[in-house]
Amino acid sequence: MSVKLAVFDCDGTLVDGQASICEAMEIAFGEAGLTQPDRHDVRRIVGLSLPQAVRVLAPGTDPALQEAAVEAYKHAYRASRMEGRLEEPLFAGIADLIGQLRGAGWLLAVATGKSDRGLTSCLASHQLSGHFVSLQTADRHPSKPHPAMLEAALADASALPQDSVMIGDTTFDMEMALAGGVRAIGVDWGYHSSDELRAAGAEEVATSPKHLWELLQ
């Protein structure tokens, strides 16, 4: 019997974490002595692993300063979470969608640029921890769009690429889906535009969780 697997990105797809990400990146760049990135540019790199994101935001700078920014970001983000200031609200309709998919027999997974700790905390805060059979993060894999996270999720679920779908809000997600041989569906409530998602390989772009549910039927 075939297994249906839906692999979700996290930031920009399940939750809207842009405010906290931008704040932590600004703190990190300030502490590392790097030029502050524009918030629009920060939103554009959400989904990449942290070291890769910093390299994109500070190209050509001293690798030691980039590493300092990476460590400062981790500290700032962790402090925000520990102090109760972290903002990662679920997008409206996502909780219902996850329940619908589980009820219809889908297995669910997450592939994200977050850390293990960050993803575990995020899902727990929304009472979603028990819904996913595989959690893949940047702690254990190359940055998107490398397909390693997706391949690990498929292995965990014993799912075939042709029976699986990658759902995300960035071109990194769509490119990863193509590299992993799975169906690519974008969502338009995240950080890259619908046109960009289609150009990167999305066969469809959902305009709401309800629309996404319809696309998965």
Distance CA 122, CA 135 (A): 12
Using alpha carbons only, give the angle 154, 211, 167 rounded to the nearest 5 degrees.
25
Distance CA 46, CA 8 (A): 14
Q: Which of 8, 1, 2 is nearest to 165 (CA)?
A: 8
49 contacts 148 by C-beta, under 8 angstroms: no
Instruction: Please list, in sequence order, all residues whose beta carbon lies within 8 angstroms of the beta carbon of residue 41, skipping any fewer than 6 positions away.
Output: 57
DSSP 169: S
Q: Go through the chain and tell me how many residues it has.
A: 217
Residues involved in catalysis = 9, 11
144 contacts 176 by C-beta, under 8 angstroms: yes
Using alpha carbons only, give the angle 49, 55, 58 rounded to the nearest 5 degrees.
135
Beta 134-136 vs 107-111: how paired, if at all? parallel
Q: Which two tokens stand for residue 141?
A: 């894999």
